[in-house]
Structure 1
Amino acid sequence: MSMRESSAFALLSLWLSRGDRFRKISFRRWIPALVVATSALALFWTYAVPQLARFRFRAGLSRYDMGWYGFGPTRNYVSFGEESPIIEISPAGAQCDPRYTFLAPRGDSVVHPGPMILDAAGELIWTKPNWGTTQDFKVQRYKGQDYLTYWQGDEEDGHGRGSWYMLDSTYTIRHIVSPSGIIEGDLHDFQITSNNTALITAYEPIPYDLTSVGGPEFGWLYDGIIQEINLETGELLFQWRSSSFYPPESSYEPMGGKGHERTLGYDYFHMNSVDKDDRGRYLISARHTHTVTCVDGTTGEVLWSLGGKDNEFFDESDGAATQFAWQHDARWQSPNTLTLFNNGANAASDSSSISHGVLLKLDIPARKAKVLTSYDHPQELMVVSQGNLQVLDNGNVLVGWGHSAAFTEFSPNGTMLCDVHFGASAYFTFGRIVSYRSFKNNWIGLPDTIPDAAVTRESVFVSWNGATEVATWRFQAWDGADLNNMTFGTIKDVERTGFETEISFTPDLKSYFRVVALSSEGAVLGITEVLQRGTAPMEDTFTLDHSWRVAIVLLFVLCCLTFGLYFAISRVLRYQRSQRDMSYRPLSHKDENEDDPENGLGQLPI
């Protein structure tokens, strides 16, 4: 190799090595950014993507369902201190059953959870804020009289510890029901039978060998218990335990880290409803075994099991009749038909299945089952917990969607007639507003309180929590004669408009007045306190309606994203400019000497 060729090769080698060094330096600078970006992407995929997948935005959603008015829009009242939900009814012109709706809304978007009655238009009839959790609010008949019944207590590890309350037409608590023995009442079911007895559910932690399902030898199992008790005396008439007939291996519920402590037992069965027919047979729904069980009312023996790992029935509907999962609210409709709410989905697993109500027909001697009718929501709701199905007196079917803030009325053949939302459906899977069950029924409320009233400068607002029979409000003014023996004369009658009615003052009203509640027949139902016309307007408080709240939150998020993107792009551009500046930086005299192949310092060997 000639000297000239050797020098050229040395120069090329030096240039390539210098480029490699620059590329290595540049790559090292990008390593932290790549690590941060990869970590952020992993965190986004692990935590953000599952949450984003829970949103249920779709074409055709109304502004209400999109959340424009909030997760759970509510209305306030002038004369009453509580709120009530603003509902949306679809389709346009829907003919909903005219009876009252019974709910117990709760969740992060519910300020004061408790039982609630609404009329068919969504107007508030009665509400009662309760401590703890309220569930299973409905009307039941006991000894020829209608009662409001609900469970109230503390929710713990998927079940409840509390009691059942029975209120009469004045909303006075007449009975508080608890299980027989030392166990506490569970939140899932309370049914008053035609014999004036009560069917209740309860859970009891018992010592159990759980090695068959991968648990500890000395573990704890939640035993599902049903009791039938005499409501008047509290006498235990019948008791059945799930552990006597179903082993832990029959469960679909993952054990996880449970079963090691008494207060955190393995809830393998999760009983959530019990019913009894005229033949004395009990019908039991167990969510975690995916079974509906028929139990002999005398011996307690299991007569048959539908669904789950121990299914005894041939499915004539290609799996639709027996492959229900995580279900609720199994009820007799006849000796050979039953209804249930098929969740199909669970919060821990199977979170993508569609929920629906179903009417099943059984050929019990031949052990065959088939679906007669399916009641499906047009938005294909995924209800991960709760829910119920009620067959109304007119043959229509009401489905309460539990974890989703909605209830829907269907015709007997499954055609949707009326869909009511009391929360924005795009966020149903977040469970911000839920109601364990939803019911419709007749009810007459005659509260033993007096009507509520609030006076402004030009009018009075009047309401009466729980009163169902008020048709007219009569405005009466003091005649001005005797303060010690006041008499009032009628000024005008105003038709009741919803829960709260505003009555404008007449010009001649000078001082004291009262408002009288009248029935449709003109009977006096109640009278407010004596009131006085206000001389100053009520203090106004600045509040934002739900649409503005949502708009402000969206604007804040958009601003954060915009600024974050701006700073990220600015940082990248600054870095690129700095790299360009470095690539054109003149070499120092020292650097030139070190890299010059003509001097002896930087010359490479030949």
Structure 2
Amino acid sequence: MFWRTFSGLARLSSWRRPQHRAGRPRKRSPYRWILAIVAALGGLLLFCLFVVPQIRRFRFRTDLSWYDLGVHGFGPSQSYVSFDQDSPVVQISPSDAQCDGRYTFIAPRGDSVAYPGPMILDARGELVWTRHQWGTTQDFRVQRYRGEDFLTYWQGDEEDAHGRGSWYMLDSTYTQRYVVSPVGNLDGDLHEFQITPNGTALIIIYEPIPADLTSVGGPELGWLYDGILQELDIATGELLFEWRSSSFFSPNSSYEPLRDRGHERTAGYDYIHFNSVDKDDQGRYLVSGRHTHSITCIDGNTGDVLWNLGGAQNEFSDTSEDAKVDFHWQHDARWRGPNTISLFDNEVEADTDPTPVSRGMMVEVDAPARQVKLLRTYDHPQAMMTPSQGNLQLLDTGNVFVGWGHSAAYTEFTSKGDVVCDVHFGASAFFSFGRIVSYRVTKSDWVGMPNTIPDAAFAGDSIFVSWNGATEVATWRLEAWDGLNLSNMTFNPISQVPRTTFETEIPLTPELDSYLRVCAVNTNGEVIGMTDVFSRISAHPRGIFASVRNWGAVLIGIFALCCLVFGVYCAISRRLRGRRSISGGSYQPVRPRDDDDNESELDRLPV
């Protein structure tokens, strides 16, 4: 009796909740299926438009190492205890690589580069010198001026695919000695700074000029970026020669699409895009125009065009037997003799098409007969695709050194094109994304004697020492105060450790708690530099707790982790409470009944 009464009340309390009748499934609207199909088609379209092109940019191969697959990051780097900047961790192949023993000069930049700027590496990829720069640094290399070696580079800002800056020359102490700027109210472009044996500099400038662009579908009163070559006397700044691309090349000789360019002075049509200038001992200039696919020879006295190779105004026939002299979007055209030139053939302008392969080229030019012949190509074993930048250097050993520009790699070949050393300073599977690039990479001898003192820092039971830019350090000698006279301190040698990497660790024994210093010693046993005097006792806190900034980073990390854990806890708790409220609520299922059952729930209650 009690159970029937309770059941009746329960049914009465839920009589207002609508329920489906037994045996009659709910009718689903056909619009739901239509909306689902439309949503799926839209998602597929977005995937094809935005995701597939990015997947095609990956350069995956079956022979890639973990380094090239990006397991260690897009651009693996290493930090130091005594130095506050990072340097790349390189991968050298093959395992028996015989890399040229000279220094490598690069200027890495990109989203995966923490400290962009000029950088010197040794043959093993170890850091020798670097400097974090404002703006952009490009074309970093060693050049000789008046019998002295200088580090030269361009520095400034990039604007509309060209540069606005100046060229700098540093001596062996890394002291700035010269700053070179164009003649006229113009900014220097980032692509070229070539010092000639006569002590002059070849530079490139972009200047917006009014132009009729109707031949390429542009406005009649439009704007064109005129490519200008200048030769300057470095010592006096005097202008010795100037040549403009608009005097020979018309806008319709370009392979660069106009798109929406040419309507404003600050967004002119970059129809030629000069990227290299060279000069031979006959006074002939060699100019590379990337957007016209042309290499042009110019008379140094009259400014007349002697010949033009490639592009719409090509004057040469090809006598090559197999591969042809067929280049596109090229860089770094150089004289290699009276009738021989080299260049870096990018072959592609963008990284959307994975088919073209970039390469270095040596070409024989018979100017009187207007014939060219391909002598040799230098191809990367991974079929490198470099949509921008790049260079080729002919070493005095006969080998050829190629920097792959947009791809973070440089390769040394024999004169016949065989690879003897291949170095990556970024994961090659992601080269097409341009996260690490270097406009050019070169090899050279260099002697660096910085006018700074070596850096040292304690960590644990060791002292770490380095000297940014010093090339002549053979060993590091640890010295300790003899404990006699503080006003005229005398130090005794304690230990000596060979310098094999940029930073050297020197172990310390427990009894070494007095004043210490570290001396840099060259191969002749001469001291060429020494650190400040320091005390191990006062330095211990620095070794254990690197800096206040590190503590701040730790505290921020702990706070962020606590917030994350608390947020997850709140979300899970709320979810569980919601489930309990649904399962334990007052609403219960109602027994289905027939339509002809007119007996009310109240009539069924016992009296």
Q: CA deviation at 1:349?
A: 6.8
User: Which residue of 1 is the match for residue 489 of structure 2?
Assistant: 486
Distance change in 2, residues 1:27/1:454 (3 Å): same
Corresponding residue number in structure 1 for 2:73: 70
* 2:200–2:233 Cα contact (<8 Å) kept: yes
Match of 1:373, SS state, is strand
Which structure 2 residues correspond to residues 309-348 of structure 1 after superposition, within 5 A? 309-317=312-320, 320-347=323-350
Q: Which amino acid aligns with 2:451?
A: D
Report the CA distance between 1:508 and its aligned residue.
3.2
The residue number in structure 2 matching 1:153 is 156
Q: Conserved in 2, the CA contact under 8 Å of 1:250 and 1:310?
A: yes
Residues 209 and 498 of structure 1: is their aligned pair in 2 closer, same or farther, counting only changes over 3 Å? same
Q: Distance in 2 between matches of 1:285 and 1:416?
A: 27
Counterpart of 2:379, as a letter, is D
Matches within 5 A, 1:232-381: 232-317=235-320, 320-347=323-350, 352-381=355-384
User: SS at the partner of 1:292?
Assistant: strand
In 1, Cα distance between equivalents of 2:209 and 2:323? 35
CA distance in 1, matches of 2:213, 2:127: 49
**Aligned counterparts of 1:321 and 1:270: Cα–Cα separation in 2:** 24
- Number of the residue aligned with 1:120: 123
1:451 corresponds, among 451, 454, 461, to 454
Q: 1:306, 1:322 within 8 Å by CA — same for their partners in 2?
A: no
**Range that drifts further, 361-370 or 79-88:** 361-370
1:259 to 1:444, Cα distance in 2 relative to 1, 3 A:
same
Aligned-CA RMSD value: 2.0
Asked whether the 8 Å contact 2:57–2:351 carries over to 1, the reply is no
**Once the 2 structures are TM-superposed, how far is the Cα of residue 39 of structure 1 from its aligned partner?**
0.7
Report the 3-state secondary structure (helix = DSSP H, G, I; strand = E; otherwise coil) of the residue aligned with 1:266: coil
1:197 aligns with 2:200: yes
Q: Secondary structure at the match of 2:436?
A: coil
1:533 Cα deviation from its structure 2 partner: 0.9
Deviation at 1:121, TM superposition (A): 0.4
AA of the residue aligned to 1:329:
D
Q: Assess, with a 3 A threshold, how the Cα gap between structure 1 residues 461 and 349 changes in structure 2: closer, same or farther.
A: closer
Contact 2:112 2:435 in 1 (8 A): yes
Q: CA deviation at 1:351?
A: 5.5
Once the two structures are superposed, what CA deviation does each residue of 1:542-595 show, in whole Å capped at 9, x if it has no partner?
999xxxxxxxxxxxxxxxxxxxxxxxxxxxxxxxxxxxxxxxxx99869xxxxx
Q: Using the TM superposition, give the Cα deviation of residue 509 of structure 1 relative to its aligned residue in structure 2, in angstroms.
A: 1.5
One-letter code aligned to 2:375: L
Change (3 A) 1:491 1:349: closer
Query: What is the percentage of aligned positions where both structures have the same residue?
Result: 63
Q: Distance in 2 between matches of 1:525 and 1:144?
A: 24
Give the Cα–Cα distance (whole angstroms) in 2 for the partners of residues 73 and 337 of structure 1: 39
Deviations 1:291-313 (A, max 9, x none): 00000001111110001011111
**Separation in 2, partners of 1:68, 1:345:** 28
Match in the other structure for 2:57: 54
Distance in 2 (alpha carbons) for counterparts of 1:517 and 1:25? 83
> 1:390 is matched with which residue?
393
Summarize the Cα distance change of 1:319–1:208 in structure 2 as closer, same or farther, 3 Å threshold: farther
Tell me how far apart the structure 1 counterparts of residues 41 and 89 of structure 2 sit (CA, whole Å). 44
Q: 1:184 aligns with which of 182, 187, 190?
A: 187
Deviations 1:360-401 (A, max 9, x none): 011111111111000000110110100000000101000000
Q: For the structure 1 residues 508 and 24, does the alpha-carbon distance in structure 2 shift closer, same or farther, using more than 3 Å as the test?
A: closer
What is the deviation of 1:459? Answer: 1.4
8 Å contact 1:199–1:275 — kept in the other structure? yes
Match of 1:538 in 2: 544
CA distance in 1, matches of 2:344, 2:367: 21
Q: TM-score, normalised by structure 1?
A: 0.85
State the alpha-carbon separation in 2 of the partners of residues 121 and 322 from structure 1.
35
DSSP-derived class of the 2:327 partner: coil
In 2, the alpha carbon distance for the partners of 1:201 and 1:268 equals: 15
In 2, distance between residues paired with 1:472 and 1:275?
41
Aligned residues: 529
Instruction: State how far apart, in whole Å, the 1-side matches of 2:498 and 2:408 are.
Output: 32
**Which residue in the other structure is 1:399 paired with?**
402
Mapped pair 1:227 → 2:227: no
Mapped partners of 2:499, 2:418: distance in 1? 34
Residues 335-378 of structure 1 show CA distances to partners (whole Å, capped at 9, x for unaligned) of 11000000001127766311000000111111111110000001
Give 1:457 deviation, angstroms: 3.9
* Equivalent-residue separation in structure 2 for 1:467 and 1:367 (angstroms): 50
| Structure-1 separation of matches of 2:376 and 2:593 | 85
Out of 40, 44, 53, the residue aligned to residue 43 of structure 2 is 40
User: C-alpha distance in 1, partners of 2:385/2:444?
Assistant: 26
Code of the aligned partner of 1:538: I
Residues in 2 aligned to 1:115 and 1:32: alpha-carbon distance in whole angstroms: 56
Inter-partner Cα distance in structure 2 for 1:78 and 1:337? 49
Rate the CA distance shift 1:250–1:320 in 2: closer, same or farther, 3 A.
farther
Q: 1:444 to 1:523 in 2, by over 3 A?
A: same
Deviations 1:88-132 (A, max 9, x none): 000111000000000000000001100000000011000000000
Contact kept, 8 Å, 2:219 with 2:262, in 1: the verdict is yes
CA deviation vs aligned residue, 1:420-468 (integer Å, no higher than 9, x gap): 0000000000000000000000000000000000023411100000000
Q: CA contact under 8 A between 2:57 and 2:354: conserved in structure 1? A: no
Deviations 1:232-252, CA, capped at 9 Å, x for gaps: 000000000000100000000
Distance apart, 1:320 and its partner CA: 4.8
Q: CA deviation at 1:225?
A: 0.4
Q: Distance in 1 between matches of 2:50 and 2:207?
A: 35
Q: Is the 8 A contact 1:320 1:370 kept in 2?
A: no
C-alpha separation in 2, matches of 1:510 and 1:349: 61
1:506 aligns with 2:509: yes
| Residues 314 and 368, structure 1, Cα contact 8 Å, conserved in 2 | yes
**Offset, 1:160:** 0.1
- Give SS of 1:77's match: coil
Q: Distance in 2 between matches of 1:283 and 1:588?
A: 98
Q: Does 1:520 align with 2:523?
A: yes
Q: Following the alignment from structure 1 to structure 2, what is the Cα–Cα distance between the partners of residues 184 and 494?
A: 48
Matched AA of 2:441: S
Match of 2:468 among 459, 465, 470: 465
In structure 2, stretches of 5+ residues that fail to align are: 1-24, 554-591, 597-607
Distance in 2 of aligned mates of 1:484 and 1:491? 21
Secondary structure in 1 matching 2:189: strand
**SS across alignment from 2:447:** coil
2: distance between equivalents of 1:24 and 1:301? Answer: 84
